[in-house]
Structure 1
Amino acid sequence: MTLRTETDTAAGVAVVTLDRPHRHNAIDAPTARELAAAWREFRFDDRVRAIVLTGAGDRAFCTGVDRATDVPQPDSPFSADDPLLTIGPKANDLWKPVIAAVRGMACGGAFYLLGEAEFVVADETATFFDPHTTYGMVSAYESVYLAQRMPPGDVARLALLGSAERMSARRALETGLVSEVTPPGEALAAALRCARTIAGYPAAAVQGTVRAVWAATEAARAHAFAQAPHLIALGNLPPAGQAELFAARTPGGYRVR
């Protein structure tokens, strides 16, 4: 198992932990399947009224898709097999509130999860970045999710500067990506306090509010997502070119997306 779930039935709160700290909690194919299954199961579990999402260890919340398990893409701008499009709660029709607790790195494909959380709590060690352009890839879905939370200029800076840019937790608070910054190691506790409060309210009112907030940006996001496969197909370097950039710029490491 690459996902750990713990439920406090008395409080009505579940904690979902990405449990691959040896890979900076990068998402491989089993983790993607487990995330989708977990969100769908929560739909039917009346004991859970709010959820906190976090990552194991202190180095990273999530570094996106694990490139060792990349899914082959069809050679067409009209279809895409993006392994991360189904990992979020909203993609799985879950309207119970999800709060993300971030410690360490959150980058690339992590924004698929942060973008479908109601809000984000980060500790002072958190850093946010998007390395796509560094390795010859289009930041499409990630930028769309970020644009729902942040001013366009801040999204552009984060996406275009690639791995050269590290947005601090404090700056993320200023831009709206993060709603609270805590001392190191305290993001999970702060997120749990919020989740317990929300879980104490009538569930139907809470879920209706989650759905209403999502509806405010849903049409724009769907329209932007429709453009993403074309932009990726047009703008991505071929895999060999990406690999060459990766080898030159991250010796001894592994790519995050």
Structure 2
Amino acid sequence: MRAVPSYQNLLYEEADGVAVVTLNRPERLNAMDNTSCEELRALWAHLRYHDDVRCVILTAAGERAFSTGVDIGGSWKQPASPFMVDDPISAVGPKSNDYWRPVIAAVNGMAAAGAFYLLGEVEFIIAADHATFFDPHVSHGMPAVNEPMFMLQRMPLGEVMRMSLLGRHERMSAQRAFQIGLVQEVVPAAELMDAARWSAEAIASAPERLAVEATMRGLWTAQSTTLANAMNSGVAFLSLAGAVEEITEKARGIKEQTRIEPRIR
């Protein structure tokens, strides 16, 4: 087993194929500074080679905020020239770091601005009933560009426009986020981690890791390209997940597999 690196701004634990990663700066509303960004990139790099983890829960400490994005008051630095962009937060998500195993976000409290770099790259989101989503950029005289682009992959255009243009004047509730498909489940705050663990453990119990990863790659590819291109890529994903003969044999053996009693959501 690979040793788990130590972090300053993250908490990490794992059990039964599930890792729980916690943004741990509650005194700063879990805003991300340069250290946080470096540690998130190091985390995904570590997990790429850690096959014991089959699913990740990404959450945050405290009940006030999942993350409010960039810690402007911290150690954030940008080059003086507009032609040189040093934006560490743009590459903090799992997909940006070539990590292709399932990540579930458990959102407690506010999720704003730079938090969308993370939420835009998770498989799905479970939110506490007091969670809110907003992008304050324009209220501070700054353009909201990259963050809403991430959200446009998960939300209707009108909703992204409204959130981006209203800035601090409005926050989207967890229930509204559920209605438009940004959030897949809303639970009381006390039940948030139990709900996330249930989904993560169910995913981790799948018998073939590559089958899960191929499913993810197929869906993300279809999200970012044409259906025809995605279908062509799908042939490669099926092949990488196993020989056609093996997949066919598994399909034939479905009746002999252990019965799973599904819950109704």
Determine helix, strand or coil for the equivalent of 2:190. Answer: coil
Whether contact under 8 Å (1:74, 1:80) holds in the other structure is no
Calculate the TM-score normalised by the size of structure 1: 0.82
* Deviations 1:168-188 (CA, angstroms, capped at 9, x unpaired): 000000111100000122222
Q: How far has the Cα of 1:69 moved from its partner? A: 2.1
Bigger Cα Rg:
2
Q: 2:199 aligned with 1:204, yes or no?
A: no
AA matched with 1:180? E
User: Contact 1:74–1:81 at 8 Å: present in 2 too?
Assistant: no
2:12 equivalent in structure 1? 5
Amino acid at match of 1:72: Q
Higher relative contact order (CA 8 A, sep 6+): 1
Post-superposition offset of 1:74: 4.7
SS of the residue corresponding to residue 46 of structure 1 reads: coil
Q: How far apart in 1 are the matches of 2:80 and 2:209?
A: 41
Q: Percent identity?
A: 50
Q: Which amino acid aligns with 2:158?
A: G
Cα deviations by residue, 1:69-121 (Å, 9 ceiling, x for unpaired): 222145235x4211211210001100000000001110010000000000000
Matches within 5 A, 1:89-104: 89-104=94-109
Counterpart mapping for 1:105-184 below 5 A: 105-184=110-189
2:52 is the counterpart of 1:69: no
Q: What runs of 5+ residues in structure 2 fail to find an aligned partner? A: 1-7, 227-265
Q: What is the 5 A alignment of 1:34-45? A: 34-45=39-50
Quote how far apart the aligned CAs of 1:218 are. Answer: 3.0
Say if 2:78 and 2:85, in contact at 8 Å, map to a contact too: no
State the TM-score, normalized to the length of structure 2: 0.79
Corresponding position: 1:217 with 2:236 = no
> Which structure 1 segments of 5+ residues have no match?
221-257
Structure 2 residue aligned with 1:29, among 21, 34, 41?
A: 34
Distance in 2 (alpha carbons) for counterparts of 1:215 and 1:74: 36
Match of 2:200 among 180, 195, 199: 195
Counterpart of 2:261 in structure 1 is: none
For structure 1, which segment, 136-145 or 154-163, has the greater mean C-alpha deviation from structure 2 after superposition? 136-145
| CA RMSD in angstroms, aligned pairs only | 1.2
Q: Which runs of at least 4 in structure 1 moved beyond 4 Å after TM superposition? A: none
